Structure 1
Amino acid sequence: MSSANNLSPVAPVANPTIPFWRKEPHELDNIRTTPELPEQSDIVIIGGGYAGVSIAYHLVTSQQSESQPPPSITLLEARQICSGATGRNGGHLRPDVYETVALCLERHGIEAAIELARFEVSHIPAVKAAIAKEKIDCDFNLTRCMNVYLNEEHAERARQAYEVLRDQGASYVDDIHYTSQKNAEGVSGVQDAKACLSYTAGNLWAYKLVMGLLSRVVKSSSVNVQTMTPVTSVTSDSPHHLVQTPRGTIRASKVVYATNAYTAGLLPEYSKNIVPCKGICCHITTPENKTPPFLPYTYVVWNKEGDGDSYLISRPDGSIIVGGAQYSYAQQKDIWHNNVDDSTLIEPAKHYYDTYMQRTFRGWEDSEVKVQEIWSGIMGYSYDTHPQVGEVPGKPGQFICAGFNGHGMPVVFLSGKGIAEMIRDSKKFEEVGLPRIYKTTLARLEAAQTGPEGGDTFDL
């Protein structure tokens, strides 16, 4: 991650909007393990969000040889811990089990498609187990995600994608249930639904999840965490790397870029591959004298035009987190594309959710719910729709885990585990159980440089 003071054009700003999730910061929010930076570290992780903390967590909790001391790890964050996209998201732990997977099938074949889907699905038990193991209070709930379509053509495409995967023998689709227009509104609770598909998913307070993982990480004496410490550059002094910050320079044996939307600020070769894109999310509450209607699922509701969606969860207190609305501003590319400013809202979208529940869900018409907090966040969108994970091409000892397309919750945790194994055990990408299409390669970098702006499948 680059500078909180705009030392790089691709850098976190210093005064971001405050999301509901971060209204009461955790005690580790501004942590500095030591007053000064260490002069050297075996591993430097740049970025203190879901990816950076997950990598540190897997490095710390993995089995270590008793004859060798654990590697020293320094985690650097430009702002506060989990102050970026993860601390601003919609609270979903929702695998994509048929739409992006169907695209992967078309491009890469059935084995790669099933590999991708199973990886995302495996995050639900993996995250659930970590929450139980570390006793993390993050409002985790196992539920069903209801994908609802208000456009008949889009609903038909979704049905076909699901059936193609089923017919190809993808056994995981047994968990998907399709409901046609006849019963879609009654099953989903969404007015004028043309079809819906549901499958196992979760929702949670992602900021608290990351803080719970970090609480485990900092118990290790080999870890040093430094917030408000932007990285301005990384240079190689073989076999080491010099990680430079306004507070000093750290000499590292391995460097990990867990920088997501801000990756190009330190790795300009990824400027076309991972593009920062601004999004919006909000918290909707019910008046104190009213009981909110019950919503049993998490939702993705695709609009009547079929060109965008809103994603939604119901919290234990009955309040709602909902975000998206990209179709309300998508044509004004200059206000969201290649934009790292999360200090302001997106003007065309900031009132979109004022009456969203009333006009979308049955039984909410007289609920009197209203937007309590609204915020923006910066997501890292990948040119070819897949994350960039692995050793940076042409830069031995430097690794990347970034480009999550606003869909990091069912991708990041086990990607972090894979990166940890590459670093700790010197394993190759192909040996750590990651989807083959995640591997960062020179060919992927070059494809983005020579292809159309934004990528042939880029979609916010």
Structure 2
Amino acid sequence: MGLHHNRLRHLRAAIAYKLLTHSPHLKILMLEARTAASGASGRNGGHCRAGWWLNFEKYAAAWGEEEAVKFEELERGNVEDVAGFVREEGVDCDFREVVTVDAFYTEGEWGRVKRDMGLRKEVRRRLGVEEKVEQKVWEGREAEEQTGLKGVIGAVGYKAYTQNPYRGKVEVHTFRGNVRAANVVLATNAYTNSLHDGLAKTGFLKPSRSQVTAIRPAEGNVLQHASIGKSIALDDKGSGDYFFIRQPGLEGAGDVLYGGGRSISPTREMGITDDSTINEAIAVYQKRSVPEAFGQDQWGKQSDEIRDWTGITCYTPDTYPLVGQLPGEQGLWASVGMDGHGMAMAFRSAEALVQLMTMGEEPEWLPKGFRMARAWEETRVNFSPHIWKPEQREGLAQL
């Protein structure tokens, strides 16, 4: 089995790990274009969170209520599986349990989220599905106090984690020679288009550059801020912004890692596969946004700018990945298109892929929307705000 350069470091490893768990006798070869963990996950914002269940109505309308529940169960379970793997294998990555918070600044979006939460609760009750997400809902002054962010009118908190973002026969042709294998898995995310012409021609996978900055106040102490121990998503800021503070006892304690800013780019950074440079306008936006979010009194007048970095992510029109065998190509498999949400989808996508490869059938818990064939369908579900133009995204949460 050949594995190429991968956007998600844990996806590549997870596929190999799950294959070997199922069949310890297998011989597995990983092929990397650069070095291990050199993709976007090696430079991510450090979040391991679910949260797309806050868009329940959208998924229910697209795939049906049962499938929407199935997806949010996968999302939640995936995050817990990653946490379990880190604990069981003793992975040294500063993995911490936190409360993650989706914060809202507009009445329209906060009203939509409350309706979505009410709908999913009713659907789960009607289907007899146990509630497994312990939610904390704050409004008004309490929302500001819990997040430490001025102007927040509502917020939803739930369990998540953070990690250290610093740290037949198929033939594969490489610059160092050719490899023949019974099965080849493309765990290549945004780079898949350059490896598979047929998939590239569908236009289903859209590469994009994502950007993060690390910054700290030159004066003041953010370790006393209300958001310490939380990861925060600023859902209706228009740029998909998010941040968290490196906690006491960790390297870089007090550093604020802030990502987002995509909407200020004329292209929304779509179509970019070069992660060797940053968008200077986004860097300026991020550095300005952090003091604004915390408030001048809390932050102070000066900032210490630590560094900026980028990674290439990959989006699909319906926000779901492609998991399975490439149509008509025996022995060629893929798990790609993680929509910047791989920490909540990739680990279980790997598990589903391995079951398909070894048992010939997909697990019952895998959402039907993950199927590979939909990339070639003329009629597609299309609501990804990463692809829609800003004027088309009015009323949509930033995924």
Q: Does TM, scored on the shorter chain, surpass 0.5? A: yes
2:209 maps to 278
- Count of residue correspondences: 371
1:279 touches 1:346 (CA, 8 Å); kept in 2?
Answer: no
Q: Which residue of 2 aligns with 1:143?
A: 98
In terms of mean alpha carbon deviation, does 96-105 or 136-145 score higher?
Answer: 96-105
Quickly say closer, same or farther: Cα 1:319–1:102, change in 2 above 3 A: same
**1:444 maps to which of 363, 369, 375:** 375
Contact 1:313/1:320 (8 A) holds in 2 = yes
Separation (CA, whole Å) in 1 of partners of 2:115 and 2:132: 13
1:403–1:138 distance in 2 versus 1, CA, 3 Å: same
In 1, distance between residues paired with 2:375 and 2:240?
28
- CA shift in 2, pair 1:297/1:291, >3 Å: closer
CA deviation profile, 1:84-142 (whole Å, cap 9, x unmatched): 11112111111024234332111111110111111111123211221121111111111
Match of 1:247 in 2: 176
Q: Decide which moves more: 287-296 or 95-104.
A: 287-296
Q: Higher helix share goes to which structure? A: 2
Counterpart Cα distance in 1 of 2:320 and 2:93: 27
1:459 matched to 2:393: no
Note the alpha carbon deviations across 1:137-161, whole angstroms, 9 max, x for none: 1111111111111122111111111
2:4 pairs, out of 25, 46, 57, with: 46
SS in 2 for 1:98: helix
- Aligned equivalents of 1:57 and 1:446: distance in 2? 32
Distance in 1, matches of 2:213 and 2:111, equals 30
Taking structure 2 as the reference length, what is the TM-score of the superposition? 0.86
Q: Tell me the distance in 2 between the aligned counterparts of 1:207 and 1:100.
A: 30
The answer for the alignment partner of 1:343 in structure 2 is 276
2:392 is aligned to none
- The alpha-carbon deviation at position 415 of structure 1 amounts to 1.3
Correspondence list, 1:1-150, <5 A: 43-48=1-6, 49-62=9-22, 64=24, 70-150=25-105
Picking from 190, 196, 205, the partner of 1:267 is 196
With normalisation by structure 1, the TM-score equals 0.75
- Per the alignment, residue 137 of structure 2 pairs with 178
SS of equivalent residue, structure 1 residue 81: coil
CA offsets 1:228-264 (integer angstroms, 9 cap, x no match): xxxxxxxxxxx31110011100011101000001111
Output the CA distance in 2 between the equivalents of 1:439 and 1:90: 28
Cα-to-partner distance string for 1:367-402 (whole Å, 9 max, x where unaligned): 744331101211100122110011111112111101
Distance in 1 between residues matched to 2:26 and 2:384, nearest whole Å: 40
Take 2:111 and 2:160, find their aligned partners in 1: how far apart are those partners? 22
Distance 1:76 1:247 in 2: 10
Contact kept in structure 1, 2:213 and 2:287, CA below 8 Å: no
Indicate conservation of the 8 Å contact 2:219/2:302, yes or no: no
Matches within 5 A, 1:196-275: 196-205=155-164, 208=167, 239-271=168-200, 272-275=203-206
Structure 2: gaps of 5 or more residues: 248-252, 388-399
Corresponding residue for residue 396 of structure 2: none
Unpaired runs of 5+ residues, structure 1, are 1-42, 65-69, 209-238
For the pair 1:406 / 2:333, whether they are aligned, the reply is no
For residues 207 and 122 of structure 1, the distance between their equivalents in structure 2, rounded to whole angstroms, comes to 25
| Counterpart residue number, 1:396 | 330
1:359 aligns with 2:292: yes
> What is the distance in 2 between the residues matched to 1:98 and 1:117?
6
> Which one-letter code corresponds to 1:159 in the other structure?
K
- Tell me the distance in 2 between the aligned counterparts of 1:163 and 1:180: 16
Match of 1:38 in 2: none
**1:230 aligns to what?**
none
Counterpart for residue 375 of structure 1:
309
* Counterpart residue type for residue 360 of structure 1: A
| Change in 2 beyond 3 A, CA 1:394/1:151 | same
Letter in 2 for 1:269: G
Matched, 1:418 2:378: no
**1:301-331 alpha-carbon deviations (Å, 9 max, x no partner):** 134xx533211122121212110112222xx
Q: Which residue of 1 aligns with 2:261?
A: 325
Contact 1:290 1:367 in 2 (8 A): no
Q: What RMSD, in angstroms, separates the aligned Cα atoms of the two structures?
A: 2.3
2 CA distance for matches of 1:62 and 1:401?
18
Instruction: Work out the CA distance in 1 between the residues paired with 2:211 and 2:256.
Output: 14
| Partner Cα distance (1:241, 1:369) in 2 | 53
Of 113, 118, 127, 1:158 maps to 113
Relative to structure 1, is the Cα distance of residues 290 and 159 closer, same or farther in structure 2, using a 3 angstrom cutoff? closer
Q: Which residue of 1 aligns with 2:250?
A: none
